[in-house]
Amino acid sequence: MEDKGGMIVVTINYRLGLFGFPPRKAGVRDVVSNAGLYDQRLALDWVQEHIHRFGGDAGRVTVIGESAGGGSVMAQLAAFGGEDASSPFQRAILQSPAMKPIINDSQYELVYDYLLETSGLQSYEELRNLPSKDVQAINTAMVSNAAFADTVFQLNVDGEFLRDIPVRLLMQNKIDQSVDILVAHNSNEGIMFTDPRTEDDDTFRAYFANLLPDLSSEKLDIMATEIYPLDFSGTQPYKNHIERLVLAVGDCLFDCYAFGMNLAYENRTRGYLFDICPGVHAQDASYSLHDGEETDYFGRPIDFLAAGAMKSWIVDFTLMGGRHGSAARQLPIFGSTARILHVGKQDATESNFTVVKDPAANPRCQFWLDGVFA
Ligand SMILES: *[C@@H]1O[C@H](CO)[C@@H](O)[C@H](O)[C@H]1NC(C)=O
Ligand SMILES: *[C@@H]1O[C@H](CO)[C@@H](O)[C@H](O)[C@H]1NC(C)=O
Ligand SMILES: *[C@@H]1O[C@H](CO)[C@@H](O)[C@H](O)[C@H]1NC(C)=O
């Protein structure tokens, strides 16, 4: 089959933290606040221009990203209004796309204030005169003094690259509809981002008040009483304060973005739900990039059968999309019933892939997608 001619893998770098996402005062354009996204775009444009020199086809480019990488892919799809089918790629794989749910320019200004406060500087003019290692030290100080799991720096609405907050762009389908999408998430996304000392409702509320500084107290109340009620009797999918926060954090930072992607593409997407114990955030990357290792990033034994299958979905999706003969066809089209392939631990004799209803297709995610930022 000529389609199975092989593929070229291009890995890119982009600036992170204060270097990649420098905050600025609302309305003041003294710095490019989404520099990291422009770095990615430059690399993708480079591929368009030069990949033929390596035997590649600029008309068949697939981007793949996990976590912040998945969030970056989402931002690239929504870039510059997202509507004009201008993405420098044709297919995209988003694994547990992650993003802080904010952030418009007046909200990102809080990070700018924090920068001035931490550095003792008054402006970017002064910052630019510092040696790189001093800027690195300011970056480190800002991140290490932040709240639990708070990355501080972040994609932000700059009015140009990102014209609105990503959730709104998704809900308005302001995203490049010409791209073919595979979107995945894991069964236990929230746990690594939840403070294990959580033991009351105040901690729950404080977490989201910090994450979403402009969330109204009415919305926070709805979250804490209706969406994630304090009910540990077994009618909710949590039995204590930690599990409650884990669920809400997983919804807000990961799972509901995956669901939102499916909706934004009118359910024409394919995807999987990775559920090999413990099913934590990014565990599936050890599988989709598996190169014979015995254990995953977290030291758990790798299920080789699952890893082999996942790699074949990704490679075939890249080479052939969902066309006849592609292993990616094992992943169902999401459709109106929210179908997704459940990846469980494999039995040596019997495959443990089943089509299930995506657990992220739920009213909690409807709230995050429609209710919080509406
Ligand atoms: C930024 O978001 C806050 C809270 O959602 C809102 O009050 C403010 O008007 C927004 N600013 C802009 C410029 O959109
Ligand atoms: C997409 O799937 C969701 C979840 O099942 C459903 O609510 C929605 O109506 C579907 N939309 C379309 C366009 O099929
Ligand atoms: C299938 O996967 C689930 C989730 O990982 C696991 O609990 C179950 O034991 C697996 N079944 C077999 C036959 O391995």
Same domain, 218 and 354: no
Ligand nearest to the CA of 336: 2
Residue 373 forms part of a structural domain = no
| CB-based contact 257:99 (threshold 8 Å) | yes
Task: Report how far ligand 1's centroid is from the alpha carbon of 106 (Å).
Answer: 6
Same domain, 275 and 349: yes
Task: Report how far ligand 2's centroid is from the alpha carbon of 71 (Å).
Answer: 22
Ligand nearest to the CA of 357: 2
Q: Which of 184, 213, 198 is nearest to 248 (CA)?
A: 198
Task: Report how far ligand 3's centroid is from the alpha carbon of 223 (Å).
Answer: 33
pLDDT at 172: 92
pLDDT digits (tens, 9 = 90+) for 15-46: 999 999 999 999 899 999 999 999 999 999 99
Q: Is 266 a catalytic residue?
A: no
The number of residues making up the chain comes to 374
Count how many domains the chain has.
2
Same domain, 41 and 134: yes
With bands split at pLDDT 50, 70 and 90, how would you rate the model's confidence at 1?
very low
Of the three residues 214, 231, 253, the one that is the final residue of a domain is 253
Ligand 3, pocket residues at CB < 6 Å: 275-277, 344-345, 347, 352
pLDDT digits (tens, 9 = 90+) for 124-169: 999 999 999 999 999 999 999 988 888 899 999 999 999 998 889 9
pLDDT digits (tens, 9 = 90+) for 96-107: 999 987 678 888
Same domain, 123 and 245: no
**Average pLDDT over all residues of the chain:** 94
- Candidate from 170, 266, 336 with most ligand 2 atoms within 8 A of CB, to mutate: 336
Same domain, 178 and 214: no
Q: Is 189 a catalytic residue?
A: yes
Ligand nearest to the CA of 107: 1
Ligand 1, pocket residues at CB < 6 Å: 104-107, 214
Q: Which atom of ligand 2 is nearest to the CA of 337?
A: 5
Please give the average per-residue pLDDT across 108-115, as a whole number. Answer: 94
Of the three residues 234, 253, 272, the one that is the final residue of a domain is 253
pLDDT at 167: 87
Task: Report how far ligand 3's centroid is from the alpha carbon of 368 (Å).
Answer: 30
pLDDT at 187: 97
Same domain, 243 and 314: no
Our measurement of the distance from residue 209's CA atom to the centroid of its chain's CA atoms, rounded to an integer in Å, reads 21
Same domain, 78 and 24: yes
Of the three residues 206, 231, 253, the one that is the final residue of a domain is 253
pLDDT digits (tens, 9 = 90+) for 330-363: 999 999 999 999 999 988 777 899 999 999 999 9
The CATH number of whichever domain residue 23 belongs to comes to 3.40.50.1820
Same domain, 269 and 205: no
Query: Does residue 254 carry a pLDDT above 50?
Result: yes
**Mapped to the 3 state alphabet, what secondary structure does the chain carry?**
CHHHCCCCCCCCCCCCHHHHCCCCCCCCCCCCCCHHHHHHHHHHHHHHHHHHHHCCCCCCCEEEEECHHHHHHHHHHCHHHCCCCCCCCCEEEEECCCCCCCCCHHHHHHHHHHHHHHHCCCCHHHHHCCCHHHHHHHHHHHHHCCCCCCCCCCCCCCCCCCCCCHHHHHHCCCCCCCCEEEEEEECECCHHHCCCCCCCHHHHHHHHHHHCCCCCHHHHHHHHHHHCCCCCCCCCCCCCHHHHHHHHHHHHHHHHHHHHHHHHCCCCCECEEECCCCCECCCCHHHHCCCCCCECCCCCECCHHHHHHHHHHHHHHHHHCCCCCCHHHHCCECCCCCEEEEECCCCCCCCCEEEEECCCCCHHHHHHHHHCCC
**Domain span including residue 211:** 194-253
Same domain, 158 and 269: yes
